[in-house]
Amino acid sequence: MVTSVGKIKQINIEKFRHLKNVEILLGSKITIIAGGNGTGKTSILGLLSHVFTNSTKGLNGRLMTSKFSEVFRFSEEHDAGGEHSYNVGFEDGTFKDALSRVTTEKGRPRFRIDVGTRESESGKTLRPVIYLGLKRLIPLAQERESTIKLGSINNVMTEALKNKYQTYHNKIFSVTYDISPIHTKSSNKLTYSPTAAHYDAHGVSAGQDNIGQIILALLSFKNLKETSDYYDGGLLVIDELDATLYPAAQKNLLDLLLKECEKSNLQVVFTTHSTDLLKHVLEDKQKEFSNHCNLVFLDNSNGDVVCHQDPEYLGQVIANLNHTVYKAPPIEKTNVYFEDEEARIFFKNLIALEKGLSKKLKIQTVNLGENFYKSLLQVKFPEFNSSIIVLDGDARTKFRGQHKPKLCFLPGQTRPENVVYDFILNLKDNDDFWDGGISGYKKQVFIQNMPANTTDRKVMKNWFNNEKKNWGTGSRKLFTRWLSETKNKNEALKFLKDFNKKLEMARR
């Protein structure tokens, strides 16, 4: 039994032609590599595939392994032995190192990249791989007629696999055809073409031909998983996934790939220039892809290839592919309502803990009581469908779960002015919060100005507004000290977690 190393986590390229010191993290299911021409996208597919070997055949009769010669052709002048080096890391923490060398065969120099050892194939990891390069896009019309053979071998596809083939084909193209996959062999193809009653393999479009080969790869992994005694997952790499496909088909294909990755324990890595596909992953299907998909953008606009893997780069990626200047869109802000100014001050100091959060919000200055907000919510006032109401801590028990998707409650069990008052009251005379010097703000000053009745809302509001001039701009000095207490910091973080959850709901 072969020990499992898990899925690929990363590839680190020390040097391979114009790729230098590039680290790429792979998604657990899908990795999308985007970038302009000449940035090394196809090279990365070939380097990943090269560390694996396998003796199993796919449904087309071809070994499920990648031949280095199908991806690379090296130059005697510009490629030298020992200068190309990279490694591939796996989930179990192990790495496969690869290093180039030049040997001589039949009097001619031959370029090799050894994985782990110089002995052929012995250092590679056992795993089925299917590499779909651009040769798959050559139409039959451009092949020599003498090399084309249709249905030339026994059909190894079961009825169940044929039905799956048809289901996948029709789902991608949003059609309801009766599809009969027929084995197609030529000088550049070894596949099953999606034929129908009104056309054969010669009449298949470039897009259908492309999809037919991708479907066949998926079914090969599915069949291997169901029939093999040992199957530890597979790797499917596709150069220019979007080629020959219209936008809706691209999106449908990507959705299918994600589902098949789960069912067949696959990792799919592909290159693309399609901005429609990128938008689909990062906007339309964000939830489905966020935990399983990595976007890699390779940029050589300043010379060396630089790798970006932050989804927030989407706008920049699209601008780069279109050779335009990126202009960040205005941020759509969510309205936030409060009972009074004291609550607003408390809130502003809380959200300062999270960088960028304030830019998403429009803090309203209208002051309404909790009962008035409750009345508006009960009549489903339209404004609050996409807004958030932040109430004082003492209102928490008064709503009994009602309207919770629209409400957040400030830390504490009392009004903000009382939360602040109780905190300052318990500070020691020598606490760092108090000002130095003879005439600074000290505990004695606080005591001198203590309110007569801490349960009277109006009295406490007056006290708060008279004292806040001593607490720094925006009361930051006071709340910085308040947040320095572990209990308060935890309460603040709990509030922010709840607020962000409500914010996400409000922005939908």
CA 51 to chain centre: 25
User: Which whole number is the average pLDDT over 386-414?
Assistant: 85
Question: Do 318 and 278 meet the contact criterion of CB atoms below 8 Å apart?
Answer: yes
Distance CA 280, CA 300 (A): 24
Question: What are the domain boundaries of the chain?
Answer: 8-137+229-322, 334-506
What residues are paired with 199 via a beta bridge?
196
Question: Do 377 and 406 meet the contact criterion of CB atoms below 8 Å apart?
Answer: yes
Distance CA 300, CA 19 (A): 10
Identify the band that residue 82 occupies on the pLDDT scale cut at 50, 70 and 90: low
pLDDT above 80 for 52:
yes
Identify the band that residue 491 occupies on the pLDDT scale cut at 50, 70 and 90: very high
What pLDDT score does 480 carry?
Answer: 95
Distance CA 48, CA 131 (A): 10
Query: Taking Cα atoms as reference points, which of 349, 108, 132 lies closest to residue 220?
Result: 132
What are the tokens at 165?
Answer: 């083939």
Percent of the chain, pLDDT > 70? 90
What pLDDT score does 168 carry?
Answer: 96
Distance CA 257, CA 62 (A): 21
Identify the band that residue 1 occupies on the pLDDT scale cut at 50, 70 and 90: very low
Question: Do 240 and 271 meet the contact criterion of CB atoms below 8 Å apart?
Answer: yes
Q: What are phi and psi of 31, to 5 degrees?
A: -130, 125
pLDDT digits (tens, 9 = 90+) for 98-144: 888 877 777 777 788 888 766 656 688 999 999 999 989 888 878 88
3-state secondary structure of 376: helix
What pLDDT score does 357 carry?
Answer: 92
pLDDT digits (tens, 9 = 90+) for 276-319: 888 888 775 566 777 788 889 888 877 888 888 865 666 777 77
Q: How far is CA 309 from CA 14, 27, 297, 337, 442, in A?
A: 18, 11, 6, 36, 51
User: Which whole number is the average pLDDT over 212-221?
Assistant: 96
pLDDT above 90 for 145:
no
User: Which whole number is the average pLDDT over 384-411?
Assistant: 84
Cα-Cα end-to-end distance for the chain: 49
Q: Per-residue DSSP letters for 254-290? A: HHHHHHHHHHHTEEEEEEE--HHHHHIIIIITHHHHH
CATH code 3.40.630 for 8-137+229-322: no
Query: Taking Cα atoms as reference points, which of 128, 110, 153, 112 lies closest to residue 52?
Result: 128
pLDDT digits (tens, 9 = 90+) for 197-207: 888 888 888 99
The average confidence (pLDDT) of the chain is 87
pLDDT above 60 for 154:
no
Most confident of the ranges 14-18, 204-208, 395-399, 460-464: 460-464
435: how many CB neighbours lie within 10 A of its CB? 13
Question: Do 363 and 346 meet the contact criterion of CB atoms below 8 Å apart?
Answer: no
Question: Do 91 and 128 meet the contact criterion of CB atoms below 8 Å apart?
Answer: no
What are the tokens at 252?
Answer: 């449908």
What are the tokens at 321?
Answer: 């592919």
Query: Taking Cα atoms as reference points, which of 477, 403, 413, 414 lies closest to residue 440?
Result: 477
Identify the band that residue 259 occupies on the pLDDT scale cut at 50, 70 and 90: very high
Task: Please enumerate in sequence order all residues whose Cβ is within 8 A of that of 161, keeping only pairs 6 or more positions apart, or say none.
Answer: 59, 219, 222, 223
pLDDT above 80 for 152:
no
pLDDT digits (tens, 9 = 90+) for 320-340: 777 776 666 666 889 999 999
Most confident of the ranges 105-119, 129-143, 385-399, 473-487: 473-487
- The model carries a pTM of 0.65
CA 206 to chain centre: 30
What pLDDT score does 265 carry?
Answer: 95
> Side by side, which strands form the sheet with 85-90?
19-25, 8-16, 85-90, 95-105, 108-115
What pLDDT score does 81 carry?
Answer: 61
What are the tokens at 458?
Answer: 């109006």
